[in-house]
Chains A and B, each alone.
Chain A
């Protein structure tokens, strides 16, 4: 970790701290120098520092999992007070999990230099029943002040080894010492999944004798772990976070027989298909069949059938916002209630499609904010949502009907996370997910008058993800406000003379907005000059890539393709004095380009631009090129056309004004 920290610091241009000689905390024993510390030189943004975080897991003689955690945090500023409020959520049904023995205290340094200790009162620990199955314990530590050191510990007991906690070494504040120790009886076999930079300060493995006989003891320590904070065009910081997950692979029963808990994707597929609440839903008939047959009618072609069912579910069944990969209700109940979680909606799709003879399967995925999937580890817990897949003779389609505004050929942004796992009788199959583009075409045709006013007809056509986003806005804001804030964004003072929106409901078509505008004083008039920026709409004002460097990939979610054409009739009596030049900037490896062509002829300005980012994902080695690319685009779109009144018209104007001239 040292090296990584050093690199991070050099890149951020800050001074590296002397090694902290971090060590695990001992309960109640806070060294004076921890209290006297008033800044953390390796990260000037830190408002708190995790001094020590130690978790241990063992199994008691009745095979219950016992997890103890002890955390010590230095509060540097008031901004770090949030660390003083702790929420512990657990699965409380059948007392599967319990959190007990919460203790905490705050250490402060009094004015006379003595160390004061403030205990957390048991009465100040609150238990909240969240929803009948989950509970939460909440507390806040007393006597917080900048400089304070807080410390708390608790015990979590679980009846099942599958509730093994995941350990995160890294948070959004720096961590000096993070340690996880796990003692696993030989009865259980867990696999270890390490994420992020696996730079362990210590890593040990021993065979020991525990309450359930011999056991494997593992210990992992990381020190001086830098903070991990979100940046633009990033899936989730979790994808890059240093953490370790333990997944139960197999266990030995009391009779000595080894049961595979999870062994392979094939096994998982089989088990899912055997479950009545998953596989059992896929071929349910009854109302589901009746409804599906009714929708399909006489249609024979698979495409037509698929669309009819997809469109019905998209429009009629409301997604209640809940994720998960296993439905909570039968598909017929979901159909009746017209509302459901993502797996409920997905399995309803699959069941309806199978009932009319389509080849349909459920597909599990992990959304972007939930983190990337690891196909090498056969564990369902990495998924958090379910979609549907349909195979027609010509093609295969991944479907997600949770949004009434989204056509069948477009997936939600959250689902654009690389791959999905299709649950089939043949052991499951990985599908790669190719995101559709974000596409916008803007046309402006109009005229500029000598007083700086532009009168124009604007036509904007949004397709795929751009259409999806804009339809959402349109529904939220209503047509008037939508035209103003979205279509005409960038024009601050504009009169709308006519507007029309096409294909609002036809979600498979491009959303087309047509507006007649009059923008008074759009161009600036000064003496004989008229200055006008031909990029009226969608002008990129800033470079989104602010950080000078980047160590992880740039994930744009989808390719972007924006084209813009403007054709302006210039005022009589003016000549072009200066015009922006043609521009061509390319990204490496056919990653995209920005192109601009300008032409002035017969008193008319025509400008065409195209902004294309052809891929959704770029490696960090392309960061510099991308940043420079955006830089050029911003500069180019700020350029202006300079018009000057011709001598003859100037003379005429002066004469008519009886003028004294300028």
Chain B
């Protein structure tokens, strides 16, 4: 478990008195405070909260009752006081549902400031809409939206609903604060038959629940009161990651007839393996083609490369999620016929191709995302949203991303790098770690020549190479894009907006190579700004650093995120100056070296009258401890200042 240090405890955890063990209650103890004002009149609200936010969560209690491996009932009661119109959105409830979770009951009411019920939720307050994710062609998800708006502020809305779950792979993940609003009282209770263990994990920080047993059921409960308003921090992890989170998970589960266990990672892996078994059959024609490609390859690595390229050329990403299909891949024949599939289907297809060529490979379940929080490695459960393929070759492992047609062979992108994944085998599935990258892996190297004329116009020839995750960044922006989109990207890279692109070769972005090389020739009208006899220009043509983080208000407590990965940028730009002009001023050389980064820049005057600008920016560590905030800020401030320095030329003698 990763524990981020220095998290400020935003609330005081008040644990209820433990209830006497057996017999008194037919189920787990009530999660409601003893002195709860059931009318939720404004008078009984924690006073300081009134000033903090446009709405206050008065009560948010959730009780998740596990009936069996397959079924559970989720009860929620949420009461929110809306203090002013800005808080209106919190009077809206959005409930997703699908084949596995059905809304059984939904009640709501509005109370006035004195706590009197003035209206109940009816059909006019609700609508039901389709909710297919934007990346999917089809899903069965829908949402029910309920709104309780009222004309006189403040007012209080109360929602109470029950969701019946049939088909369970996950149990809830719960936070004391779901949105940034202040919370007066919240609780999460989970109950289950005693034969089903209640597993939980908490991060960041620690938070032990009350636990108990009543008859043949047991329970765990977390309660919190007076949770202060949440806030976002710049260059920090998202707010949701800084809030203490309770994860729960079953040990045994069943969904659409597919039952499995999560005692350990091997068990969960076994379940996924069984689900995707016997789905590797390729049509005869493709099988023959694959065998021929395999036979033609000189070694295993070569064969994997050829087949990966074959898969990339043939397929595209299309997501269709139906029932158990959210977990079970479509068969290889389905992908072969249609030339599309989602991550599961495409990974299964790639695995089938390799199998046909006699090469073993293993799916790796992973939580993908450039800045996705790490999974809890000691808490076997469904924490994944993506699958890739691991191929052991010559003592090493190749990691194949199968949903993108332009990824270079074996490239581990920021989407999947440096994290745990579950390598799935029939037996002995284990957590494995994808490789990370260092600054020098993620490099951008730029060499340019600039010819400046007396009007301030410039002709620039520049060649830039990108490796590692910078290759990834550039490829995602340029590969398979229209000329228009590419030109737009170039515009964003250059500080001089009105340029014309004279020549460019973007083919390297499409080539699926680990290094992208981009030659450009540009005309930059008015690159230098003229005033009277002088010409001013900034020698850093591309990617100036302009943003300086704000000063931390009262000591930084959240860790610092400085982008998604370490990187190294080097620029060398040679300027030929217009005849008849002398250099009046050049930027002072700068060299800032701190433990996590280094920046150096300067201008060299050559004997032949040309100027050479060199800049090097290396960020060695992209995530820093909170105590480093001042150093981090000061570093970027110096970078921003150095990046805006200009060269001044003057006509004749200065």
Contact = CB atoms under 8 A, between A and B. Distances in A.
B213 interface: no
Nearest to B322: A126
A144 B149 contact: no
Contacts of B88: 318, 339
Interface string B482-524: 1111000000000001100000000000000000000000000
B484 A45 contact: yes
A580 interface: yes
Contact of A404 (B85, B127, B497): B85
Contacts of A139: 137
Interface in A124-141: 124, 126, 128-132, 136, 138-140
A443 interface: no
A526 B339 contact: no
A336 B151 contact: yes
B178 interface: no
A524 B534 CA distance: 14
B645 A128 contact: no
Interface string A469-493: 0000001000010001000000011
Interface in B282-338: 313-314, 316, 318, 320, 337-338
Residue among B313, B532, B648 with the highest chain A CB neighbour number at 10 A? B532
A639 B132 contact: no
A315 B314 CA distance: 56
B610 interface: no
Nearest to A136: B130
Contacts of B162: none
Contacts of A546: 498
Contacts of A638: 526, 529, 536
Interface residues of B, number: 58
A338 B151 contact: yes
Given A79-B480, A138-B138, A526 B127 contact: no
Contact of B534 (A336, A484, A578): A578
A329 B125 CA distance: 12
A142 B137 CA distance: 13
Interface in A113-132: 118, 121, 124, 126, 128-132
Interface in A328-363: 329, 333, 335-339
A570 B172 CA distance: 64
A542 B526 CA distance: 11
A338 B151 CA distance: 6
Interface in A631-651: 634-635, 638-642
A316 B153 CA distance: 10
A527 B130 contact: no
A140 B318 contact: yes
A293 interface: no
A45 B483 contact: yes
Contacts of B338: 118, 121, 124, 142-143
A136 B130 CA distance: 10
Contacts of B318: 85, 140
A543 interface: yes
A541 B497 contact: yes
A578 B531 contact: yes
Interface stretch (B35-43, B388-396, B419-427, B636-644): B636-644
Interface string A604-639: 000000000000000000000000000000110011
Interface in B380-417: 405
B151 A639 contact: no
B533 interface: yes
A315 B152 CA distance: 12
A521 interface: yes
A128 B149 contact: no
B584 interface: yes
A581 B531 CA distance: 8
Given A77-B480, A529-B584, A493 B531 contact: no
B129 interface: yes
Interface in A299-329: 315-316, 318, 329
A493 B316 contact: no
Nearest to B119: A336
Given A132-B128, A543-B498, A47 B482 contact: yes
Contacts of A130: 129-130
B530 interface: yes
Interface stretch (B101-109, B271-279, B466-474, B544-552): B544-552
A132 B586 CA distance: 68
A131 B129 contact: yes
Contacts of B640: 492-493
A634 to B, nearest CB: 7
A635 B483 CA distance: 28
A639 B138 contact: no
B127 A131 contact: yes
B480 A78 contact: yes
A459 B150 CA distance: 39
Interface residues of A, number: 65
A218 interface: no
A145 B124 CA distance: 48
B340 interface: yes
Contacts of B646: 524, 531
B481 interface: yes
Given A138-B137, A524-B646, A493 B637 contact: yes
A578 B650 CA distance: 11
B484 to A, nearest CB: 5
B147 interface: yes
A85 B137 contact: yes
B594 interface: no
B530 A333 contact: no
B585 A338 contact: no
Given A140-B137, A640-B529, A493 B85 contact: no
Contact of B339 (A126, A144, A316, A578): A144
A81 interface: yes
B339 A142 contact: yes
A44 interface: yes
A138 B85 CA distance: 39
A404 B585 CA distance: 52
A417 B125 CA distance: 33
A635 B529 contact: yes
A138 B338 CA distance: 16
Contact of B531 (A45, A77, A335, A642): A642
Interface string A238-277: 0000000000000000000000000000000000000000
B648 A531 contact: yes
Contacts of A543: 497-498
Contacts of A484: 550
Given A145-B313, A524-B646, A635 B526 contact: yes
Residue among A315, A527, A638 with the highest chain B CB neighbour number at 10 A? A638
Nearest to A545: B498
A521 B641 contact: yes
A139 B644 CA distance: 51
Given A77-B480, A526-B584, A578 B532 contact: yes
Given A493-B637, A531-B646, A639-B531, A128 B138 contact: yes
A508 B125 CA distance: 33
Given A128-B130, A524-B646, A580-B531, 11 more contacts: A46-B482, A78-B405, A81-B316, A124-B320, A318-B85, A493-B548, A524-B645, A634-B526, A635-B529, A638-B529, A640-B534
25 contacts: A79-B480, A118-B339, A129-B130, A136-B130, A138-B137, A138-B138, A143-B337, A145-B339, A315-B85, A337-B125, A337-B147, A338-B149, A524-B648, A526-B585, A527-B585, A543-B498, A580-B531, A581-B532, A634-B526, A635-B529, A639-B529, A639-B530, A640-B529, A641-B531, A642-B531
Interface of A: 44-47, 77-79, 81, 85, 118, 121, 124, 126, 128-132, 136, 138-140, 142-145, 229, 315-316, 318, 329, 333, 335-339, 404, 475, 480, 484, 492-493, 520-521, 524, 526-527, 529, 531, 541-543, 546, 578-581, 634-635, 638-642
4 A-B pairs closest in CB distance: A526-B585, A542-B497, A638-B529, A78-B480
